[in-house]
Structure 1
Amino acid sequence: MKFAPNALPGAIRTRLAIAATLLAPLLAMVPAAPAGAADLLQVYRDAQSNDAQFASARSQLLATREKLPQGRAGLLPQIVGTAGASRTKLDQTASLPIGGSPSASGTRFFNNNNWQLQLSQPLFRWDRWETYKQGELAAMAGEVTFHQAELDLITRAAQAYFDVLAAQDNLYLARAQKKAIGEQLEQAKRNFEVGTATIVDSNDAQARYDLATSTEIAAQSDLEIRRATLQQVTGKPVDELMGLRSEAPIPGPQPPDVNAWAAQAETSNPQVNLAGYNLETAQRETNKAKAGHLPSVDLVASYGFNNQTGSATQAISTHYNASQIGVQLTMPIFSGGQIQSRVRETIALADKAASDLEFARRTAAQTARQTYSGVSNGLAQVKALEAAERSAQSAVESNQLGYEVGVRINIDVLNAEAQLFSTRRDLARARYDTIMNGLRLKASTGVLQEADVVQINTLLTSVPGSMYKLPVPAQAGGKAPAKAAAAADRRGVRRDGGTPRS
């Protein structure tokens, strides 16, 4: 801040007092993060271990990997064993011709035990080969789906993290604004008591104070909701988080070429890769349907044993071993048109999968362009809001000084303070949104990884008040800044330099 060469010492002290008064609420409201405050990397790793969605994706990956051995099983030998045992009771009666009486009767028992092994080895079954290749595609698609879950986990954890920081900022700024308005209200009441201000100033300040109280309550509620959302991701409560340094250089997109990012998204976006696997799977389903017209050839072999102790016609026991080997050919001749219909169905589904792939490519490119624009425009917005914050700070100081000398009314000071706190909220939100758009940009191309979380982690700090560029108090809980205005009064700063205009 520059002072006029002919500025009076009292005016200089007034400006210093104003600055101290504006800083005091923020110093009082921004808590010092303890040494155990969680950072983004810790939150991400907690989410890896505890997030229910990610755990579900991990289990789904393990299940999908089994598609490969299931498909391969259709090409391998199939061996079936059977065994049986039975006991037969036979009641026999020998009779004379009609009218005669029975001549003999008796009961016989005989047993039958058998077992058999059957082997079948496919020699040519085109449908099973296509099923095996589909199993490979399903396993690869499962890996891509899990990679998408990893990208989603990073963005969800980061979004929840920065949402909590933004909610904390809103609460701290709401409390600071309330405190500043309260001090302005007390000043207006004192000026009214001594006759240097009207009751309008007090009423305006009281109305703003009541509104600030409502804003504080809403901010507190929002913070609790955001913390609950973060806990849902991490699986554990997180009381304190490290904040973003105000001077932290937010990384821009590299390379700084939107077309390069869009082109990469069209080829490496997980949804594009997944759609590509779906298309190839649909094409192989068509091949499998066409295989219904082809013959199947199997190698078949069997070996069995049978032991029988008599039968209904003879009492002699028999047993034998039987072995068999051969090639079995099965040729479809007519299936009622079912195969042709199935082929037409799969061709239509393959065309649909091709359209889905093209849609996925276009969507990925559009997402990359949007997030790239979000990063580049966000960086420009951050710079503009930083300049706006400095201007709003100067406006508050100027209006406060004008109120002191009687050329501004209380509502002017309140409006300037409201603009300052609103700008600070917008600036904090713009920083968080720009960082998140950077993560989403990398996610849209499939290159987002833990190293990017580590990079963002270097932008965080546990120093209290860093976001607002505030000095750390010499003593925790010290009240010296809040008493700066009173000290300025004792040093002779004028508070009755004229009658405020109404």
Structure 2
Amino acid sequence: MQTSPAKRLFGKYWQSLVVVLLVMVNSSAWGKEYMGLIQAYEAARANDPVFRGAMAVRQEGLEYQTIGRAKLLPTISGVVSNNQNQSRVTDAGGRTDNRGRYNSSTSSLQLRQPLYDREAWAAKEQGVARTAASEALFRLREQELMVRVFEAYSKALLATEEVRLVEAQLQSVTELLRSNEQRLAQGEGTRTDLLETQSKQELIRAELIVAQDRALHARGALQAILGESVNKLERLVPGGAVALVPGTLDDWRSKAFDSNPEVESLKQTLEAAHQEVRRVDGGHYPRLALLLSIGSSESDTTSTYRQSSRTTTVGVQLNVPIFAGGSISAQARQAGAQHMKAQAALDARVAELEVELHRQYSAQKNGVLRIAALQSAVATSHALIEATQRSFIGGERTNVDILNAQERLAQSVRDLTQARYEQLLAGLRLRLLTGVLSESDLRVVASNFSANLP
């Protein structure tokens, strides 16, 4: 039994479409060198300007503790002076002593140790809180970098895959157009079929231009984070296992309030604001300090001309504030307002975290169901195209039916790929919100990608 030319052509272009789509599901361009997700993360740690800025902020924050502690430690200062003088002294009887030019010198070394200083103690605790807030904020930026890298990586890869998917559609429509032309030449087809396919071909070409532009921008966004050019990206393994984070929403909520670095940073900022209230209030209290000084002088005054002395002094100094024009009270009210602001910022972020946790938990959980549904839709679309082709050859279906079936398949493939990326991203974001995201989690996600795919 011979196969008709039309059927042979349909088989040819359909086989090409199937091969390209199977290869293109979750794939990027081929090349000799591929950049994996972990490689991208390591490059971002070294080059991302946002993360480098976070490292500088952290280094700055580490000094708050040292600065605050210094206010409780002794301070040592030394003063040395050497002067040249010209003096003439007249006593009460009118006698004048012209001493001419002579040198004088003084030197002193003083140690001051606070004994009682409420302001200094509060400043010390404030420095500890500020350093802790800075450390927590840096942990947040580290975890955010993992999410930002994966998000940019997946967007660049998805944009590239969309380009190849549209190219596969264009190839399929081009094969269909050739079939229409041959069928029309043999008197089996219609000019309407030919024009419909030509119109669809031009629409796909326009879509390809848009997809290529999106891919270019997505690649540029990734390179901006990595600080280096990107050649090829590892591909998401087709049909890989869908990871579902363990635990209930209440479990993750409890982790978030205990471990979230942003919440911890805000808590420490609140503590620093509380210590600022105490520090300012300390201005109303007396300060007591131990003083120890050693000094020597030679001809330092007219009464000690040609005399030298050496003095050692040990004592205490009491400083009692009486009136400062109301500035301390004003600063105390200002510090109280800042404390209320810090508390409001913490409460607002906790409320936002509650909403975001629920959203990401639902996204990664519902993503599993969505992926399963889209996998079924892709399989159904394949079967629909085959059935539509057979019906078209038998005269039961039209050219438009084939084009629509191909479009539904392409859309299903695109949605499936995007759903897999979004499900992985939701898992990372959920861990970020709870403050438990680590490089090992990123490596688990990276195991879903490979450069060695058939």
Assess same fold via TM > 0.5.
yes
Asked if residue 190 in structure 1 is aligned to residue 182 in structure 2, the reply is: yes
Code of the residue aligned with 2:46 in structure 1: it is S
- Aligned equivalent of 2:409: 420
TM-score w.r.t. the length of structure 2 is 0.92
- Aligned equivalent of 2:16: 21
Q: How does 1:112-131 map to 2 (within 5 A)?
A: 112-131=104-123
- Aligned equivalent of 1:38: 35
Give the distance between the partners of 1:310 and 1:232, measured in 2 at CA.
69
Q: How does 1:138-149 map to 2 (within 5 A)?
A: 138-149=130-141
Aligned partner (choices 131, 142, 146) of residue 154 of structure 1: 146
Give the distance between the partners of 1:106 and 1:70, measured in 2 at CA.
52
Deviation of 1:92 after TM superposition, in Å, equals: 9.3
Q: Secondary structure at the match of 2:298?
A: strand
Aligned partner (choices 294, 299, 313) of residue 308 of structure 1: 299
Give the distance between the partners of 2:284 and 2:347, measured in 1 at CA.
32
Q: How does 1:48-59 map to 2 (within 5 A)?
A: 48-59=45-56
Q: How does 1:147-296 map to 2 (within 5 A)?
A: 147-255=139-247, 257-296=248-287
Asked if residue 370 in structure 1 is aligned to residue 359 in structure 2, the reply is: yes
Q: Deviations over 1:232-291 (max 9, x none)?
A: 111111211111111211211211x12221232223222211111111111111111221
Q: Secondary structure at the match of 1:197?
A: coil
Task: Tell me the number of residue pairs that the alignment of Structure 1 and Structure 2 aligns.
Answer: 446
Asked if residue 387 in structure 1 is aligned to residue 414 in structure 2, the reply is: no
| Greater fraction of residues in helix | 2
Deviation of 1:27 after TM superposition, in Å, equals: 7.1
- Asked whether the equivalents of residues 310 and 318 of structure 1 are also in contact (C-alpha less than 8 Å), the reply is no
After the TM superposition, which of the residue ranges 452-461 and 167-176 deviates more from structure 2?
452-461
Unpaired runs of 5+ residues, structure 2, are none
Distance 1:83 1:463, change over 3 A: closer
Give the distance between the partners of 1:31 and 1:461, measured in 2 at CA.
11
Code of the residue aligned with 1:220 in structure 2: it is Q
Asked if residue 69 in structure 1 is aligned to residue 66 in structure 2, the reply is: yes
Q: Secondary structure at the match of 1:238?
A: coil
Code of the residue aligned with 1:325 in structure 2: it is V
Give the distance between the partners of 1:323 and 1:28, measured in 2 at CA.
89
- Asked whether the equivalents of residues 54 and 150 of structure 1 are also in contact (C-alpha less than 8 Å), the reply is yes
Q: Secondary structure at the match of 1:320?
A: strand
Distance 1:346 1:451, change over 3 A: same
Give the distance between the partners of 2:136 and 2:143, measured in 1 at CA.
11
Deviation of 1:324 after TM superposition, in Å, equals: 1.4
- Asked whether the equivalents of residues 385 and 402 of structure 2 are also in contact (C-alpha less than 8 Å), the reply is yes
Q: Deviations over 1:8-48 (max 9, x none)?
A: 9969x878656513224447876774463121111111111
Q: Deviations over 1:459-498 (max 9, x none)?
A: 112244xxxxxxx4xxxxxxxxxxxxxxxxxxxxxxxxxx
- Asked whether the equivalents of residues 29 and 232 of structure 2 are also in contact (C-alpha less than 8 Å), the reply is no
Asked if residue 340 in structure 1 is aligned to residue 329 in structure 2, the reply is: yes
Residue identity (%)? 29
Asked if residue 461 in structure 1 is aligned to residue 440 in structure 2, the reply is: no
Q: Secondary structure at the match of 2:232?
A: coil
- Aligned equivalent of 2:420: 431
Q: Deviations over 1:90-120 (max 9, x none)?
A: 5799xxx9xxxxxx99782122111111221
- Asked whether the equivalents of residues 29 and 160 of structure 2 are also in contact (C-alpha less than 8 Å), the reply is no
Aligned partner (choices 346, 349, 361) of residue 357 of structure 1: 346
Give the distance between the partners of 2:259 and 2:29, measured in 1 at CA.
43
- Asked whether the equivalents of residues 306 and 319 of structure 1 are also in contact (C-alpha less than 8 Å), the reply is yes
Code of the residue aligned with 1:184 in structure 2: it is L
- Asked whether the equivalents of residues 40 and 149 of structure 2 are also in contact (C-alpha less than 8 Å), the reply is yes
- Asked whether the equivalents of residues 25 and 180 of structure 1 are also in contact (C-alpha less than 8 Å), the reply is no
Distance 1:205 1:144, change over 3 A: same
- Asked whether the equivalents of residues 291 and 314 of structure 2 are also in contact (C-alpha less than 8 Å), the reply is yes
Distance 1:16 1:84, change over 3 A: same
Q: How does 1:93-108 map to 2 (within 5 A)?
A: 108=100
- Asked whether the equivalents of residues 110 and 310 of structure 1 are also in contact (C-alpha less than 8 Å), the reply is no
- Asked whether the equivalents of residues 18 and 400 of structure 1 are also in contact (C-alpha less than 8 Å), the reply is no
Q: Secondary structure at the match of 2:189?
A: coil
Q: Secondary structure at the match of 1:196?
A: coil
Give the distance between the partners of 1:145 and 1:31, measured in 2 at CA.
35
Q: Secondary structure at the match of 1:122?
A: strand
Code of the residue aligned with 1:47 in structure 2: it is A
Distance 1:20 1:114, change over 3 A: same
Distance 1:457 1:105, change over 3 A: closer
Distance 1:310 1:422, change over 3 A: closer
After the TM superposition, which of the residue ranges 38-47 and 331-340 deviates more from structure 2?
331-340
Distance 1:332 1:130, change over 3 A: same
After the TM superposition, which of the residue ranges 109-118 and 168-177 deviates more from structure 2?
109-118
Aligned partner (choices 129, 139, 145) of residue 137 of structure 1: 129
Give the distance between the partners of 2:399 and 2:197, measured in 1 at CA.
7
- Asked whether the equivalents of residues 14 and 172 of structure 2 are also in contact (C-alpha less than 8 Å), the reply is no
- Asked whether the equivalents of residues 188 and 202 of structure 1 are also in contact (C-alpha less than 8 Å), the reply is yes
Deviation of 1:337 after TM superposition, in Å, equals: 3.0
Give the distance between the partners of 1:109 and 1:269, measured in 2 at CA.
73
- Aligned equivalent of 1:492: none
